[in-house]
A and B are shown apart, each in its own frame.
Chain A
């Protein structure tokens, strides 16, 4: 799990994870915001159904795929969290952006 350092700049941003209210900081990627809220797993694989969570944080591994404001398979580490954003963890499908 991850925690925020005490002396940190940035505004608070409210968003939701699977419908539950959550808080992030401006500048967080969606993947960072999930980890900061104790959510380490964000999807299941289509092959075995195993849980996966962000691994590389640099757009390479595609393990951070989530549904953002209704659009599935977005790379959570490459999208910045925005006020009111609805983030949903997802099952199966994993091709980016389809």
Chain B
């Protein structure tokens, strides 16, 4: 037994991710006496929605809007709570070093900060790792000039950059409309929005409308949509989409229903098909996950307090299933209360009592979510694209190659790795996983739940040899890195 394993853990709690879920969780936990560290790979707190909230160069507050500026209210409580805040820390592994010692509940976190790797031992880990844009594979999506709409929004929030030249937005989902609205506020012109929302979705979503009518999103969302539709050319019912160009984007080609192909010259194409949980860290930590049929994505399995299947690891916010920023904030607080209980700071009754207002607020925030999920569910043809479309950007593997592998006996994403190297590149399946699951499931005629997902291993982000050289090599540390 090494000295390090005997000594006290570095912190009671590590919160990974400083979006709304992580900010709220860390402030509550530290405020109630847990020694807490908040880790995030980004240089500033805020997560995706509140990206650059402390230092955005966009001075005109109307551009990013009130929902964005709400994020600033989460920063004071974090500062006052006494939580340690380590931005610029990329977590690449979470593991229990000593399964042979049941009394020792600590977890080891592997992270890189300032170009050096280090290990951190904690009693509990709360992942608040948020969401990623759902991959939107179309022919030509790898051309320079084609970006995710979320990526373009990051450029706006962090650098005050807007697209110039001929700009096309394409896809479906609230974020696409939000970005268009923010651009209009900023005075940026858009040439067209190509809306891929399938017409049939309206029919499916209609029965869910009553709940949405009571949702806090309704008023805001409707106003925003009308304003964008008034000012930008919107093409509805787009069923086919491709980007063309030599070495960079030159044109966007689309089709509506059975109509003729249309072509728009474009310098920038911003794609969006909603967001899905960023589950790589939870998956590589061994947390069980499940297929969510409504949101068409995998999500780690959690109980109503955010506890995962791995002892000592909880998960809150969009990383546990998409609920939006206000829901993430409340889920973060609820999970933090459960950690206080698990670490013996409060009893069960106190936890349950303290959670009541947060559960009420969570319920309000989630109202109408099902309507949005159903309405903005991307069409089958985009989730499992045509044969000539690259699905794995890293290894340049097409949907056709994946289908061919299925015909040769490849039954799921893990086998696709050995058949095709699909998912073996540096993005570790983040940009192909959901598509590969859908393509294989459709080709086999079974549910995505049956074909499964990549089994990921740490490190979940590439670590350099130079970073590793900084690592103190105790037995427990080496165990934690090499365990899987």
Contacts and interface: CB of A to CB of B under 8 A. Distances in A.
A53 B267 CA distance: 13
Interface string B35-46: 000000101000
Contacts of B268: 1-2
B247 A32 contact: no
B159 A58 contact: no
Nearest to B187: A5
8 nearest A-B pairs in the assembled complex, by CB-CB distance: A53-B144, A97-B464, A57-B151, A40-B144, A41-B144, A8-B160, A3-B164, A96-B462
Given A59-B41, A78-B41, A50 B142 contact: yes
A36 B186 CA distance: 16
Contact of A95 (B152, B267, B426): B426
Contact of A9 (B57, B165, B466): B57
Interface residues of A, number: 43
A7 B43 contact: no
A64 B55 CA distance: 23
A52 to B, nearest CB: 6
Interface of A: 1-5, 7-10, 25, 27-29, 32, 35-36, 40-42, 45, 47-48, 50-63, 78, 80, 94-98
Given A7-B60, A53-B144, A98-B464, 12 more contacts: A3-B161, A5-B63, A5-B161, A8-B57, A25-B57, A32-B155, A45-B396, A48-B396, A53-B147, A57-B147, A57-B152, A60-B427
Q: Among the interface residues B133, B144, B158, which one has the most CB atoms of the partner chain A within 10 A?
A: B144
A3 B267 CA distance: 13
B384 to A, nearest CB: 20
A28 B48 contact: no
A72 to B, nearest CB: 11
Nearest to A48: B396
Contacts of B57: 8-10, 25, 27
B59 interface: yes
B430 interface: yes
Contact of A61 (B145, B427, B461): B427
A34 to B, nearest CB: 10
B155 A95 contact: no
Interface residues of B, number: 55
Consensus secondary structure, chain B interface: loop
Contacts of A60: 132, 427, 430-431
B163 A2 contact: yes
Interface string B128-169: 000011000000001111111011101100111111110000
Contacts of B154: 57-58
B395 interface: yes
Nearest to B166: A1
Given A5-B160, A41-B248, A55 B146 contact: yes
A22 to B, nearest CB: 14
Contacts of B143: 51
Nearest to B60: A7
A25 B59 CA distance: 14
Contact of A1 (B58, B165, B247, B396): B165
A97 B459 CA distance: 14
Contacts of B463: 97
A4 B161 contact: yes
A89 to B, nearest CB: 11
B393 interface: yes
A53 B148 CA distance: 12
B431 A61 contact: yes
A59 B464 CA distance: 15
B481 interface: no
Contact of A51 (B247, B394, B467): B247
A96 B325 CA distance: 31
A2 B162 CA distance: 5
A71 to B, nearest CB: 9
A79 B248 CA distance: 24
B163 A80 contact: no
Contact of B164 (A2, A62, A63): A2
12 contacts: A1-B163, A8-B58, A25-B57, A27-B57, A35-B161, A41-B248, A53-B248, A56-B151, A59-B461, A61-B430, A61-B431, A62-B425
